[in-house]
Amino acid sequence: MLSTVISAAIYAQPYDMVLAHGRVIDPASGLDAVRYVGIRGGKIAAISESPLAGVTVLDVSGLVVAPGFIDLHSHGQTPENYRFKARDGVTTALEMEVGVSPVPEWYRAREGRSPINFGATSGHLPARMAVTHDTGTLVPRDTAKRASTPDERRQTFDLVRRGLDDGGLGIGMGIAYLPLATRAEILELFGLAAQRKTAVYVHMRNGGPVEPGVIDALQEVIADAAVTGASLHVVHITSMGLRETSLCLQMIRGARARGLDVTTEMYPYTAGMTDIGSAIFDEGWQAKQGGIGFGDLQWALTGERLTADSFARFRRQGGMVAVHSIPEEVVRMAIADPLTMIASDGILENGKGHPRAAGTYARVLGRYVREEHALTLMDALRKMTAMPADRLGIQSKGRIAVGADADITVFDAARVVDRATFENPAQYSEGIPYVLVNGILVVKGGELVEGVQPGRPVRR
């Protein structure tokens, strides 16, 4: 009798929060229906067709309730960036391409201080920069032009390995930023990833149509994955592939059909952005970027288009430059391809940077799903949730399922849109009224909730 009373009392206990009467879309299960979602202890505890009792009940009628977006390529890992990510519906932002080194210090600096979940790979570039005392910030600047000595190569490898042992989410690699890194050195790192049963996230050695270009660069990393057994994730396929993107996707499809674990991602913009002082702008960059010129480069700090003169000046100084090199039809084709995940590659610094840092996810949902019908809402959400979670091998994220982490993005499919532009990138996306991270609201009524830090580290 007593036990019946107790279980009845537990049964009647309301959920911490209930999202009431929203259109739940969960690409992992295929669910697309009106449901009540009960949240307890930071987890999704119930998904019900009938009303649930909650301490807090949010009426989300007419809104989409989706798994929180997982950004695999988020260089911006500061409070400023996390705010823009949250307003764009991102609940987990990961620095996978460049990665970090040393790993423990990086996690420690963010624990208990982040509104959204965070994580990083063990990075080859930062490890190599530490060993050679390079003065670059995100990517190498002054030691990219020489190969590593055998001793530097060994020290770099040891740092990358230590980063994996310390919980790094895989190996981050930017071969294009170390053009003299030998193929043997890169292969050795793939071997390390395979040994630890993890993935390499790679910015390939070359891009564009002119050889050495994107095709042989993709052949290099697919071959390395094949011979070592490492999983491979190729970053920003459109900015590397340009007009060869379709062939690149065909190659990745072929590799997958033969049993290799190869995935890829893209951002929904026709321009990339990188450091003008980096090896990307070595002699011959115009042809390598598909035949662009100085006027296709845009200085992030001022928004001005470059000339031969300003290019030379800024190259000596270093800094972020937008590269308008990706044809719109390539973006449209790639976004509709079931292989591509959405990832921002974004970073903002004092409000300056590429609009992708603030607008990537709302732009896909507003522009490419609603306005251009380039893909369905379900397919778009899959690219932002279940696919990146599967790439990470994390089953507790990227889905609306009982037991999953309560990372949830609630948006208005009729209104969601990006506002960030190349001239003014620090503008929040619109039409995303609620974002929950581990069951806590970080966006409420379309505004950031101040003083909440529910973000947790994502580790291996």
Rule CB under 5 A: which residues touch Zn ion?
203
CB nearer to Zn ion: give 121 or 409: 121
In the complex, the smallest distance separating the C-beta of residue 124 from Zn ion, rounded to whole angstroms, is: 13
Tell me the residue number closest to Zn ion, measured at CB: 203
CB nearer to Zn ion: give 73 or 382: 73
Reported as type and span, the H/E element at residue 378 is: helix 377-384
In the complex, the smallest distance separating the C-beta of residue 300 from Zn ion, rounded to whole angstroms, is: 15
CB nearer to Zn ion: give 176 or 404: 176
In the complex, the smallest distance separating the C-beta of residue 176 from Zn ion, rounded to whole angstroms, is: 7
Reported as type and span, the H/E element at residue 64 is: strand 64-67
Contact at 8 Å (CB) between 354 and 273?
yes
Q: Of 399, 403, 385, nearest to 46 (Cα)?
A: 403
In the complex, the smallest distance separating the C-beta of residue 74 from Zn ion, rounded to whole angstroms, is: 12
Determine the Cα–Cα distance for residues 296 and 235; give it in Å rounded to an integer.
22
CB nearer to Zn ion: give 335 or 347: 347
Determine the Cα–Cα distance for residues 425 and 260; give it in Å rounded to an integer.
38
CB nearer to Zn ion: give 203 or 356: 203
CB nearer to Zn ion: give 35 or 203: 203
In the complex, the smallest distance separating the C-beta of residue 275 from Zn ion, rounded to whole angstroms, is: 11
In the complex, the smallest distance separating the C-beta of residue 411 from Zn ion, rounded to whole angstroms, is: 28
Contact at 8 Å (CB) between 199 and 226?
no
Nearby residues of 46 by Cβ (< 8 Å), 6 or more positions away: 15, 36, 37, 38, 52, 402
In the complex, the smallest distance separating the C-beta of residue 449 from Zn ion, rounded to whole angstroms, is: 32
Contact at 8 Å (CB) between 114 and 77?
no
- Cis omega (within 30 of 0) on the bond before 102? yes
Reported as type and span, the H/E element at residue 106 is: helix 103-110
- Bridge partners of 64, per DSSP, are 23, 411
Determine the Cα–Cα distance for residues 8 and 14; give it in Å rounded to an integer.
12
CB nearer to Zn ion: give 354 or 382: 354
DSSP state of 236: -
